[in-house]
Amino acid sequence: MLNIREASEFLGVSVPTMRRWENEGKITSYRTTGKHRRYDKNDLIRFKCKEDDSFKITIAYCRVSSSNQKQDLERQIENVSNYCIAKGYQFKVISDLGSGLNYNKKGLKELIALICSEEIDRIVINYKDRLIRFGYEMIEELCSIYNVKIEVINHTEDKIYEEELVEDVLSVITVFSSKLYGSRSHKSKKIKDTNLAMFRNSECDYIDDKVQA
């Protein structure tokens, strides 16, 4: 919490301007037992972001599906960081661990909160599906409403991400299969193993057909 002098210095305005803005309802203060004004710094940051676009930062968002992809996550962070540095962006990295089908990830929820609080100017991602696998258009529309740009560094397909897509699709199949045949863990595992074997067999058949052709 900041007193009125500290808050005015933070926003770069005079103390009388602080009082006027409060009277106009632009900012809010809290009163101590001695009736002195105190300002929440997070509230001031949000206010400054709304008033001054140059104060907004860039979020470099990175995601992998599983813990065994740590090296890939580190490469993503390095790529987006180098990109932001080259562009001269003031940025913060948010990283996530979880499927692109999972909307309940900590980093994604933080990102959405920052978009809605108008604290960021753009989002930088290495690949489009790093943001989210399905429902990208919803995030894109949300960004459009709050004037947040999305910059995708690479527009080509990546083998690692294709493999992740297979895992995500198998997860969906497993969930629906489990609902149909029961949700016991051993049954779910058996269903997933069967689905994976079917996929690999079909993939091998496809490769054989290509070789023979």
Q: What's the Cα-to-Cα distance from 136 to each of 11, 128, 166, rounded to whole Å?
A: 35, 8, 18
Q: Cβ contacts of residue 79 below 8 Å, gap of 6+?
A: 126, 153
Judged by DSSP in three states, 89 sits in coil
* Phi and psi angles of residue 96, each rounded to the nearest 5 degrees, phi first: -135, 150
Of 29, 65, 99, 177, the active-site residue reads: 65
Q: Answer whether 147's CB lies under 8 Å from 112's CB.
A: no
Could you confirm whether 65 is annotated as catalytic?
Answer: yes
User: Cβ–Cβ contacts within 10 Å for residue 76, how many?
Assistant: 23
The C-alpha torsion from 177 through 179 and 185 to 190, rounded to 10°, is -20
Place of tokens 């562009």: 87
Note the residue count of the chain: 213
| Catalytic (active-site) positions | 65
